Amino acid sequence: MLKGIDRRLSAEILHVLMQMGHGDDLLLCDINHPAVTIAAQTTHGRLIDMGGCDLLQAAEAVLSLMPLDSFVPAPVARMQVVDAPERTLPLFDEFQALCTRMEGRAIALEPLERFAFYSRAKGAFAVIRTSDPGPYGCFILKKGVIDLPR
């Protein structure tokens, strides 16, 4: 164990977060998402399971270490509800509130049509699948930068 690192973060997740650079995307998804298929097309190339965590728990752990991009208007993308693109689910608001709290600034979520979301997800650095039952529990987080003292 290491001090100060959320115990929900495995060594593989820590390694992926360290390898990612500014502007790289990370997909957090529920158990319904075609995660294995999409993960095979990412930079990391294989699925990372984060069993025992729902989406909000997983996001809180990841965002305790990974900053969100501050150079784009919406550093988080979410999937739109099929046949009801304007519809919002409580999870969308909860996820946005968590991101805002973790970042200490307002975070916008970009809604994407289902297949546009899948397309963007395939270009992600890695995919982390949670135990969340969904539905529509799929979020792409764009990594930002931190200012380190010199």
All domains in the chain, ordered by first residue: 22-142 (3.40.1650.10)
Phi, psi for residue 77 in degrees, rounded to 5: -115, 150
Q: Which of 25, 118, 132, 136 is catalytic?
A: 118
What DSSP assignment string belongs to 12-48?
HHHHHHHH--TT-EEEEE-TTS-HHHHHTTSSS-S-E
- Has residue 8 got a pLDDT over 80? yes
CA distances from 74 to 65, 99, 123 (A): 19, 11, 17
pLDDT at 134: 87
Q: Catalytic pick from 69, 93, 136, 147? A: 69
118 tagged catalytic: yes
pLDDT given for residue 107 in this prediction: 98
22 is catalytic: yes
Could you tell me what percent of the chain has a pLDDT over 70? 99
Tell me: pLDDT of 70 over 70. yes
136 is catalytic: no
- For residue 10 the two structure tokens come to 């495995």
Helix then strand then coil, % of the chain, to nearest 5: 30, 20, 50
